[in-house]
Structure 1
Amino acid sequence: MLVRQAANVLELMEYFARRKRPATLAEISDDLGWPRSSTFNLVGTIADKGWLYEPRARNGYYPSPRWLTLARTVAEAEPLPDAAHALALEIADKTGETTAIAALAGTNAIFLDVVECSHSVRYFAQIGDRVPVHASSVGRAILAQQSPEERRGIYRKIRFEPFSDTTPCSAEAVEEALTEAAERGYHQSSSEYIADLAGVAVPLPINHRRLSLVVAGPTSRCLTRRPETAATILACIERFLPDIAPN
């Protein structure tokens, strides 16, 4: 269930992240397609709470530094180990493809860290991007760490939208993919959510957190290399394991 007012606050912050400069109420309303009255009420409320301010009089609103302070405080309380980013860097370098670390966010996998490769044709991803947990190797590598009961609870919330012919469109199909991945030793995908994208993912054990790591790129380069990519990922994780998950 979507709570529109909460969604609008987040959409407003994403709007400013794209815009990178102040915006007037009229600009916000027009750009986001919101009614003027709703825009006035929402922006006014957020400004009254100190999350928006006017850098110059009558020149529009912009997020205040309070967002950055809050984000830093939250991130510092539950950070990824520095070794986790070093691991992603090394895997991206060895595979030549975009590498990301993800966690569960509702019915999606959300990227906590991303290292993009240098190819002109590559998987473009950034921190905060989300992919459906059932329609991605990175998502299923997280599901594999849940108990059957926990997975059933997640499945009840998924719409199982068929993004392509290869999308697992039922709980049974996802469970079958998890079984196959357990036998194979890694999770894989091919154009399940994003066309012409192939991925390889594995669980990433970092203390109590159920994370996963994925390497993804265009099918023309990555589809037939998935076993080789998986071997590279697993070898790197084994070497970094004492640093990312110390006893």
Structure 2
Amino acid sequence: MSMVRQAAQVLELLEFFAQVKRPAALAEISETLNWPRSSTFNLLSTLKSLGYLYEPRPKGGVYPSPRWAELFDAIRIGDTPPVEMDGLLEYLANATAETAALAAPNAGQAMFVGVRESAYPVRFTTQVGNCVPLHATAAGRALLSQRPHADRLAFLRRAEYIHYTAKTLMTPDEVDAEIERSVQQGWFIGIEEYSPGLMGIALALPLPGRHYALLVSGPTERLGSRVQEVVDLMRNAVRETLGVEVAPVRG
């Protein structure tokens, strides 16, 4: 995948400030991110001239301006998961003691757009923006189930099948059959197909104009004996939080 370096640098800069949470001078930014001073100066100058960076006090370093917050707020209003999803993930993480996440399709993968991690030291760990394969995970197959069947088959025949673990499904027919089986039972499961020792339980959430998958994931040794309990918790939480019943989805 080709990368536009300047765009990547802007994102790296935002991640830098998210970590340090204070103004920083050109020299610190250049050294920490291993950027040439000249290109660092040019990027900072451009962002300052556009109003996205400012100096909270003279010669005290630069920091992202409130313009970013206004921009992201506008984006959230336009096309993001319903605000109720935050409470839903928080509830499920607490009720199950495992990691709860919301996934959406992104360029042939499932991208996490909401995450609440388990408090256990050993847990499924991810963050917003991370992606997993559609065909090799419970969340991914829950998203695929919301596509028309012909479209889904076409995707599966194009997909790259990597042997992530000994349990990874390796053919389009195997994956399609697993999706059909999951649609019939109304929920999706992936047991150590993508990551050894981890499993996930997912529900398809086809909200108006959106495709989402709700996931609870954790170590197989903890979650394996609680599948039906967790499915019931997820269904009830979706009903109470979003006001919708999770039913089998037919493409």
Q: Same fold (TM over 0.5)?
A: yes
CA distance in 1, matches of 2:155, 2:46: 34
Partner of 2:15: 14
Distance 1:77 1:168, change over 3 A: same
CA distance in 2, matches of 1:57, 1:156: 58
- TM-score normalised to structure 1 length: 0.81
Question: Counterpart of 2:211 in 1: which secondary structure?
Answer: strand
Alpha-carbon deviation of 1:102? 2.0
CA distance in 1, matches of 2:22, 2:174: 46
Question: Counterpart of 1:225 in 2: which secondary structure?
Answer: helix
1:53–1:62 Cα contact (<8 Å) kept? yes
Distance 1:25 1:158, change over 3 A: farther
1:107–1:157 Cα contact (<8 Å) kept? no
CA distance in 2, matches of 1:42, 1:160: 40
Structure 1: segments with no counterpart, 5+ residues: none
2:103–2:212 Cα contact (<8 Å) kept? yes
Percent identity, please.
38
Alpha-carbon deviation of 1:215? 0.5
- TM-score normalised to structure 2 length: 0.79
CA distance in 1, matches of 2:170, 2:43: 38
Name whichever of 74-83 and 168-177 sits farther off: 168-177
Partner of 2:249: none
CA RMSD in angstroms comes to: 3.1
CA distance in 2, matches of 1:157, 1:15: 37
Partner of 1:225: 226
CA distance in 2, matches of 1:214, 1:176: 20
Structure 2: segments with no counterpart, 5+ residues: 247-251
CA distance in 2, matches of 1:64, 1:153: 45
* Letter of the structure 2 residue corresponding to residue 3 of structure 1: M
CA distance in 1, matches of 2:106, 2:189: 20
Question: Counterpart of 1:203 in 2: which secondary structure?
Answer: strand
CA distance in 2, matches of 1:146, 1:28: 44
Partner of 2:40: 39
* Letter of the structure 2 residue corresponding to residue 223 of structure 1: G
Structure 1 residue 74 corresponds to structure 2 residue 75: yes
Alpha-carbon deviation of 1:160? 4.4
CA distance in 2, matches of 1:239, 1:163: 36
